[in-house]
Structure 1
Amino acid sequence: MRLVSLNANEIVRAAAHWIDRGVRLDTRTFAAELGISRSTLFRRAGNREDLMGDALWYLGNGTMDHAIRVFEKENGDAVRSATGELRCLAVMRQYRSDIAGNQGFRRLLAEEPTVAIRVLTDPRGRVQPRVMAAHVNLLGRDVEAGGFVPAVSLESLCYAIVRLGEAFLYSDVLASRAPDLDAASTLLAALVEGHVPASERTAGL
């Protein structure tokens, strides 16, 4: 039993741990485990979908940070990898792969598809605006480093990237087809660079 001094951030981290382990986020059971009432949970973290959104963002942000570290460990501060792949594209590819491979996340999509998609893709929700901002920052680094020149504003480009990424990452729920991450990487590379880089051409569509 936890102490009632838990703050909102601690509650979100605990919820993220539940989702990561594939445990359904039942607010009654969750509050009981934390040692607080459901009303206290609501006051500190919002309703169930608010809490789920914050927890999913916490997991997604950690996944993005990990993808950046993976690239930097292999390539340092370079804006392209040894194979010529643009840094932001490599990071996004790793990010999507890690999310798709998270069994807790996949279980949430399988067991609560309607709620999960609503929370993940609501343009006014707790997840998509933050994901959009993270992508603007990610691509902005490469623009500043001279990696590429966007054909449209970063905000417009990242909007297209995030929505296209969602279409492929959640395609099993949205379109009853298996996620094709290679196709997503190929299309996103073309979207960012204006053509399909040589390193992506073998992925196919």
Structure 2
Amino acid sequence: MTGAPEEIVRHAARTLMSGRRLDTGTLAAELGISRATLFRRAGNRDAILGDALAFLGRRTLAAIEREHGARPTGDGQATRLRSLAVSEDFRYALSTALPVRRLLDEEPATAIRVLTDPQGRVQPRVVEAYTELFQRDVDEHGLVPQIPVPLLALAVVRLGESFLYSDVLAARAPDLKAATTVLDALITSVLGIEGT
């Protein structure tokens, strides 16, 4: 193993997927590098956690997008925007993802810091992915958004976080059905779609 930044992130992601806590000392030893080298190449634990969670999230979102690209959304009467279906499925996938749930349960302060920091490694990448997702629907359907698409994406991500992580943020059970209702209404309103 070379301990290249990409290798570090993939190994950290495998560690999280296996249900183990990410420990930088153990990670460095498994990669055959020192902790100082690990830090120099990939950053501190929060940075590595963020990169690993972003890597897993990107992979999950890509799989969901492929699935929705292969089948129509809707029941034959009204076609639902692809971005609505993809973002809903992504929220549900995150709500049950072992690495995310374990981090929220065992290290809630770290989880919220790593997952929701606007300057961190996770949230900006999700906003960017949602911007691309919404922009595809805008382009495909000739929509005229009432606000810039990146701002819509940021609002959807921030609101989604408040539903997804409500057990930690507000001592309230996550309600993903309510999240879908609220976020779909926001997105369709901003994009000028009625009755989807």
Q: Same fold (TM over 0.5)?
A: yes
Segments of structure 2 that go 5 or more residues without pairing to the other structure are none
1:145 aligned counterpart, secondary structure: helix
Q: Bigger shift: 128-137 or 144-153? A: 144-153
Whether the aligned pair in 2 keeps the contact of 1:150 and 1:193 (CA below 8 Å) is no
Match of 1:126 among 121, 124, 131: 121
Match of residue 164, structure 1, among 155, 159, 174: 159
Which residue number in structure 1 is paired with residue 9 of structure 2?
12
Shift of 1:24: 0.6
Distance 1:165 1:108 in 2: 18
Question: Which portions of structure 1, spanning 4 or more consecutive aligned residues, are displaced by more than 6 angstroms?
Answer: none
Q: How many residues align?
A: 192
Distance in structure 2 (CA, Å) of the matches to 1:19 and 1:175: 25
Alignment partners' CA distance in 2, 1:42 and 1:107: 23
User: Pick from 55, 73, 89: which aligns with 1:58?
Assistant: 55
1:185: which partner in 2?
A: 180
Residue 196 to residue 142, structure 1, CA distance change in 2 (3 Å): closer
Amino acid at match of 2:17: D
**What residue in structure 2 maps to residue 114 of structure 1?**
109
SS of 1:132's partner is helix
Contact 1:167 1:174 in 2 (8 A): yes
Counterpart for residue 39 of structure 1 = 36
Counterparts of 1:103 and 1:25 in 2: how far apart (Å)? 13
1:83-135 Cα deviation digits (max 9, x unpaired): 52110000001111111111232011100110111011111111111111111
**Structure 1 contact 19–25 (Cα < 8 Å) conserved:** yes
Structure 2 Cα separation of the partners of residues 87 and 42 of structure 1: 40
Task: Work out the CA distance in 2 between the residues paired with 1:29 and 1:142.
Answer: 44
For residue 26 of structure 2, the aligned residue among 25, 29, 33 is: 29
- Give the alignment partner of residue 147 of structure 2, picking from 126, 140, 152: 152
Residues 196/23 of structure 1: CA separation in 2 closer, same or farther (3 Å cut): farther
Q: Give the CA deviation at 1:82.
A: 4.0
Q: What is the alpha-carbon distance in structure 1 between the residues aligned to residue 104 and residue 193 of structure 2?
A: 31
Question: What's the TM-score once normalised by structure 2's chain length?
Answer: 0.92
How much does 1:28 deviate? 0.8
| Offset, 1:58 | 0.3
Q: What is the Cα deviation at residue 81 of structure 1?
A: 3.6
Tell me the distance in 2 between the aligned counterparts of 1:138 and 1:18: 29
Provide TM-score, normalisation by structure 1. 0.88
Measured at CA, do residues 74 and 22 of structure 1 come closer, stay the same or move farther in structure 2, by a change above 3 Å? same
SS of match in other structure, 2:173: coil
Report the Cα distance in structure 2 between the residues aligned to 1:164 and 1:85, rounded to whole angstroms.
20
**What is the aligned-residue identity percentage?**
52
CA RMSD of aligned residues (A): 1.7
Q: Within 5 Å, which residues of 2 pair with 1:130-141?
A: 130-141=125-136
Give 1:127's aligned amino acid.
Answer: V
State how far apart, in whole Å, the 2-side matches of 1:196 and 1:18 are.
42
